[in-house]
Amino acid sequence: MTEQIITHGADWTIKHLFVYPNEFIYWGLTIVMYPYMTGLVAGAFVLSSLYHVFGQDDLKDIAKFSLVFSLALLPVAMMPLMLHLQQPLRGINVMFTPHFTSAIAAFGIVFSTYSMIVLSEIWFVYRKYFVEQVHALKDTTSAVLKMKRMVYMVLTLGAFDVGDQAVAKDKKAVTILAAIGIPVACFLHGYAGFIFGSVKANALWMSPLMPVIFIMSAVVSGIALCMLTYIVIMEWKKFTTTMARGRGDESVQIIAGVELDVIKKTTKYLIGFLLAAITLELLDIIFRGYTAMKSWDILREVMYTEDFFKIFILQYGVGNVLPFLMLMIPGAKIKRTAIALALILFGVFMMRWNVVIGGQAFSLSFAGFMHYDVPFIPHHLELYREGILGALTVAATPFVIFYVINKFIPSLKKA
Amino acid sequence: MSLTRRNLLKKTLAGTAAASIPLSALKFLSSAEAKEAVETSKTRYAFLVDTNKCVGCGFCVKACKHENEIPYDSPVTRTWVERYVITKDGESHIDSPKGARDGFTSEEIAHHEVNPEDIDKAFFVPKLCNQCDTPACVQVCPVGATYKTKDGVVLIDRSWCVGCGYCIMACPYGVRFFHPIHKVADKCTFCYHRLVKGMDTACVDACAFGARQVCDLRNPDDPTTKIILTERVAVLKDEYGTKPHVFYIGLDRNVR
């Protein structure tokens, strides 16, 4: 029995014209998912901070939800990286021997700092609730509820003081943490942009604008996902209430009213960030075309011929312009907004795709092209990890995690 | 002092922080060790390719695959040879089938015939790791698994590489790849294991035409070093600022 020899990349790379022998699409779908997921994390956090720091009261309801949702997204940001590594068990090496001239080396530190900020902020927000639960479940006889009480006991970390002074301190801590969290969240994602922007060998990636573009599109995608998830959950609530009490019941109207209100207010912020993101991306393209460096010939070929559909139709057209118009035209109701949000999420995904895959669509020789044939049917483990099924696993996980967290931290209840 | 909860937490934190500093970080070097760590080496390996002499037989590629245990039928290779055919219309036709492991046996280039009448010039260009002085691959490795030796050769620690592929992305020359068996980044090492024993690289030994030479730039008596220092040589893609150390004689402007 000889070991099956798998050349990484050979399964999904189709070469055209002259490409160096060792060149393949080494960074595939997993690396598209990585900035996409970190972007969602950062965006969700920034959305919650808009309320906690800048006192945007109109965001109060969605702020709590997006904070908890960013916690659910956190472990998932790491997942595609682990799926991608050739030696996943050595991933921890980046914490043992971080080599600080590398943009990736900061990952461990920035990521854990950010995780601690999110965790402690959530703790301060919900500490009072935990204490209340411990007291409320005191006399319970059911074993399940006793277990639940135990969990809340642990979650309080022994801080049972819920006097006015203590709660005021909690609030202050939340504001400070949210304020520190904004730059850290931006850094977390900005440096994901830096990872690409600093690769001087790659003509498409190398740009000082890359980190800023990444932050903007991250915030856009984060807000859009929070809004969309919020809509889905509220619609579900509305549906169950309608089932229980009938269509005309007052509580159904209340839910619908709250939902539309929250969504309308959040949309304003979304549009602002969306405009900033598109402006920066267009600036980048115009600048490349105008300066027309050596690499422009091949970049133009990739953008206007090979990847035209993916860049200009899917990303800018369907993912940016169309939802922008849908949100701008007055009288947007839940259904239209939800469709626009889904399109925006798709647009940001396509942007990640066009950066990561598009950056490898041409050879370093500038004389050939590589086409990415996304692995679908996993004939071996590598094709699962790097393929569509792996990506779907990553995309589904935050919702599972959120479901579990929501059992203990009710971020959806109106305060 | 009473042990309040606050104090306990404080002390635990301090203790954890102290424990997390590894003892090795506090090691003092002897003066000899310190000197060795900063002193520049007496050797700087470099490579000379005379493209005028290359006939595209591919023996170098074959020898390299065997010497360095790169799976023979895998498309990846530590060194390769490119064929350039420049036609009268100014077009360059380039190929390197299987990295030229079996040489160039067909007159077809990239799946099409070129009429010999239309050819202005044609030549072969061997490629390998440039062992840069400021290597982009070393800069971007997140765990420090790839490093430059004092004598200028860039190596990879197979036991520490996490296989993220960042170095592969960062190399402007496309010399890096994932080793199909070891599942870590891999590339040409100038046959470091042979150099340090005073031998030539496998590809140099395999070249019957003297198109490839390896030398020590700090040894002025080395005949290859003399050529590099006194004759007109070029390097590939110097615009990336990586200071490559594979020098070429007869490099054409069409070479990518």
Shared-domain flag, residues A404 and A365: no
Q: Is residue B21 part of a domain?
A: no
pLDDT attached to residue A355: 94
Note whether residue B148 is domain-resident: yes
Predicted confidence at residue A288, as pLDDT, reads 93
Q: How many CA atoms lie within 13 A of A130 on its CB side?
A: 20
Residue B159 domain-assigned?
yes
B142 domain-assigned? yes
- Is residue A299 located within the same domain as residue A322? yes
Same domain, A278 and A319: yes
Q: How many domains would you assign to chain A?
A: 2
C-alpha B86: how far from chain center: 27
Option in B164, B173, B183 nearest A104 (CB): B164
pLDDT at site A270:
93
A199 near B CB under 8 A: yes
- A368 lies in the same domain as A386: no
- Name the minimum distance, in Å, from the CA of A256 to any CA of chain B: 47
- Closest by CA to A193, choosing from A407, A69, A359, A18, is A359
How far is Cα A200 from Cα B165, in angstroms, rounded to an integer? 15
Alpha helix (H) ranges present in A292-333? 296-301, 308, 322-328
Q: In this predicted model, which residue has the larger pLDDT, A62 or A372?
A: A372
Give the other-Cβ count within 10 Å of B249's Cβ: 17
Chain A interface mutation, best of B143, B147, B156, B182, highest count of A Cβ atoms under 10 Å: B143
Contact call for A21 and B99, based on CB within 8 A = yes
Alpha helices in A21-98 (DSSP H): 29-52, 60-84, 93-96
Question: Which B residues in the span 206-235 are in contact with A, Cβ-Cβ below 8 Å?
Answer: none
Give CA angle at B89 (B84, B94), nearest 5°: 20
Determine whether the interchain pair B172/A364 forms a contact, defined as Cβ–Cβ distance below 8 Å.
Answer: yes
Please answer whether residues A368 and A18 qualify as being in contact, where contact means their C-beta atoms are separated by less than 8 angstroms: yes
User: Is the separation of the CB atoms in B212 and B60 below 8 Å?
Assistant: yes
CA distances to A8, A137, A334, A374, B138 from A78, in Å: 21, 36, 32, 21, 23
Q: Look at A201 and B169 and tell me if their CB atoms are within 8 Å.
A: yes
Residue A297 domain flag:
yes
**A residues 294-353 near B, CB within 8 Å?**
294
Same domain, A35 and A170: yes
Q: pLDDT at position A414, please? A: 58
Per-residue confidence (pLDDT) for residue A1, from 0 to 100? 38
Mean pLDDT by 10 residues, chain B (256 residues): 81 83 66 69 93 96 96 95 95 94 91 91 96 96 95 96 95 96 96 95 96 95 95 96 96 93
Do A355 and A205 form a contact (C-beta atoms < 8 A)?
Answer: yes
pLDDT in tens, A165-186: 999 999 999 999 999 988 888 8
- CA distance, residue B89 to nearest chain A CA (Å): 16
CB distance A267 to A231 below 8 Å: no
Q: What is the pLDDT of residue A4?
A: 67
Residue window 265-304, chain A: list those with CB within 8 Å of chain B: 294
- Owning domain of residue A78: 25-198+376-415
Q: Within this chain, do residues A244 and A305 fall inside the same structural domain, yes or no?
A: yes
User: E strands of chain B, at which residues?
Assistant: 45-50, 80-87, 92-95, 119-127, 146-148, 154-156, 177-178, 185-186, 212-216, 246-249
The verdict on A87 and A158 lying in the same domain is yes
B123 DSSP β-pair partners: B84
The model's pLDDT over A281-320, given as tens digits with 9 standing for 90+, comes to: 999 999 999 999 999 999 999 999 989 999 999 999 999 9
What's the pLDDT score for residue A12?
92
| ipTM of the shown complex | 0.88
Residues in chain A with CB shorter than 8 Å from the CB of B171 are 201
Give the span between the Cα atoms of A222 and B147, in whole angstroms. Answer: 38
Helix (H) or strand (E) holding B169: helix B166-170
A7 vs B164: CB contact, 8 Å cut-off?
A: no
Task: Supply the CATH number for residue B180's domain.
Answer: 3.30.70.20
Q: What is the pLDDT of residue B124?
A: 97
Determine how β-strand B246-249 pairs with β-strand B45-50.
parallel
Neighbours of B2 (CB within 10 A): 4
- pLDDT tens-digit map of A219-240: 899 889 888 888 888 888 888 8
Q: How many domains does chain B have?
A: 1
Q: What is the pLDDT of residue A376?
A: 87
- CA dihedral (B57, B61, B67, B71) positive or negative: negative
Residues A193 and A265 in one domain: no
Decide the pairing of beta strands B185-186 and B177-178. Answer: antiparallel
Give the distance from residue B219's alpha carbon to the nearest chain A alpha carbon, in angstroms. Answer: 32
CA distance B230 to A289: 41
Same domain for A136 and A237?
Answer: no
Q: Is B9 on the interface with A (CB under 8 A)?
A: no
CB contact under 8 A, B180 and A90: no
pLDDT tens for each residue of B152-167: 999 999 999 999 999 9
Examine residue A18 and state whether it is found in any structural domain, yes or no.
no
- Tokens read off for A30: 């997993």
Flag whether A126 is in a domain: yes
Could you tell me if residue A11 is inside a domain?
no
Q: Using the beta-carbon criterion (under 8 Å), do A201 and B166 form an inter-chain contact? A: no
Percent of chain A topping pLDDT 70 = 98
pLDDT at B24: 58
Residues ≥6 apart with Cβ < 8 Å to B227:
B48, B213, B233, B249
Range of the domain at B153: 136-186
In the chain, the amino acid numbered A245 is R
Confirm whether B98 is domain-assigned.
no
Which two three-digit tokens encode residue B17?
């922080």
Span A358-375, mean pLDDT? 93
Q: Closest partner residue to B142 among A10, A21, A94, by Cβ? A: A94
Instruction: List residues bridging with B126 in a β-sheet.
Output: B81
Shared domain for A172 and A245, answered yes or no, is no
Please report which residue ranges of A85-163 form alpha helices under DSSP H.
93-96, 106-136, 143-156
Using alpha carbons only, how large is chain B's radius of gyration in Å?
24
Cβ-based contacts of A27 with chain B (< 8 Å): 165, 169
Same domain, residue pair A286 and A403 = no
CB contact under 8 A, B180 and A6: yes
B143 assigned to some structural domain: yes
- Note whether A358 and A364 are within 8 A (CB): no
Q: Is B5 within a domain? A: no
Q: How many CB atoms lie within 10 A of CB A7?
A: 18
Residue B77 lies in a domain: no
- pLDDT confidence of residue B26: 63
Q: How far is it, in rounded angstroms, from Cα B124 to Cα A328?
A: 59
Which residues in A lie closer than 8 A to residue B239 (C-beta atoms)? 294
Same domain, A143 and A241: no
